[in-house]
Amino acid sequence: MSLFRRRLLEMQNKRYIRFEDPEVKRICIENWDKDGDGELSMEEAAAVSSIGTKFYDNPKIESFDELVRFKASQLQAGMFQGCKRLKYISVPPIPFGIFNDNVDSYERVRLCGEWKRIPDYFFWGSGKRNLKVIIIESGIPPKITNISGFFYGNHTTNFAKIYVPNNSVEKYREAAVWKDYKEFIYPLSEYHP
């Protein structure tokens, strides 16, 4: 088998992360592309020990849904400090508040996978004045407190809609704390970006 063909087969067998935002891809490739192929594989993402401050004060980043491909242990609170254009982000279950930053440009935050608990001070900082949508994939409502940052007074932060799995809407509307905000909880099938 030729070297070219072997390399082609290796590339086909690797699972690469497809980045929507070119600036996020540039940073990830620059820092964690160990094999130098210009792509970030799932294996390379899993090998990252810490994302640290690589995204601090970046005025170009608008979307980072691929963050869910990184391990929770690689993330840290406030890791997007100063990213004034970051609108869309997806995160894996984490035990701390990641949105403790001064970013008020978030429009949609997606909590991927099953969350047992949403940490206190999960959203905190500038008020998240542009937040419109929170998507929670957990079929079972995660435990939450009023100091999570999801809620402000008698409504959600910035009156954001919370979308949950269709067959879990009533579970959320009846669960502790969530039930106090049931008018903001919608089935995921009604979400249209």
Q: So what's the pLDDT on residue 177?
A: 96
- In the prediction, which pLDDT does 12 show? 53
Task: Look at residue 129 in the predicted model and tell me its pLDDT.
Answer: 77
Q: What stretches in the chain show pLDDT beneath 50?
A: 9, 126
pLDDT at 5: 57
Q: Would you say 70 and 98 are in contact if contact means Cβ atoms under 8 Å apart? A: no
Q: How far is CA 142 from the centre of its chain?
A: 16
Q: pTM of the prediction?
A: 0.88
| pLDDT at res. 6 | 53
| 103: number of Cβ within 10 Å | 22
Instruction: Give the pLDDT score at 126.
Output: 47
